[in-house]
Amino acid sequence: MTETVQYQLIEEKIALITLDRPEAANAFSLQLLDDLTSVVEHVNKQKDIRATIITASGDKAFCAGADLKERAGMTDDEVVQTVHKIGQTVHAVENIKSPVICALNGVAFGGGLELALACDLRVAADHAKFGLTETSLGIIPGAGGTQRLPRLIGLGKAKEMIYAAKRVNAEDAFTIGLVERIASSQSLLDEALELARSIASNAPVALRQAKQAINKGFHVDLETGLQIESMSYAVTIPTEDRLEGLKAFKEKRKPEYKGQ
């Protein structure tokens, strides 16, 4: 547990990371960035974690992006360094070894949405709103938003959102593929946990290799992507989990995967 980011193992194989600056809309202070990086490093060291949920305190904001009050006192060089730090932190979340579900409990603007885009799946509270609104502040998304958003929802929709600093509600976000599920505020974590359980019931080596194959293969041509998939597949062949999966299927029972 850190000052601005809470961590807990909510079930045996499922981690919960909670941004905890509700008084500041869970904005990215330098302290929060350090704390989130520290928690991500801890998660990656836990071999038993098969799924991770990221959410935030309160029901108004998931993350409002950069802490503009803190930024107001920075020099231009310090602003550039801070934006780079946000990008590094978001990238670290993207590279969490286990699949990551973002439970968006409220608004996610700017860097907050960029953090959500770095997660594998997104579940949104029905009142939440989203946007990469940087152009309305005289800047552009600087933590991966111009790259990850088009890859997720398509070039035209992403350009519309970014150029117009457009905000979308949960229903529209679902329609354009920005989020995978919508839930009420009361059932948001339950919905995310249900999804996490369905993931965590599968073989951990296979989960890690599937994530790696998808993420690395998505950015290259098909031929290279197929080679990446083949290499990731090969990693699963000598595992005990693969043999357990075959045995459980034959015996018509639930497999007991150990990550080996």
SS3 50: coil
Given CA atoms 147, 148, 152, 153 in this order, what sign does their dihedral have? Answer: negative
DSSP letter at 26?
T
Whether 63 and 28 have beta carbons less than 8 Å apart is answered as yes
Report the catalytic residues.
Answer: 114, 134
Distance CA 62, CA 122 (A): 12
CB atoms within 10 A of CB 253: 9
The phi, psi pair for 179, rounded to 5°, reads: -125, 155
**Beta-strand relationship, 168-169 and 129-131:** antiparallel
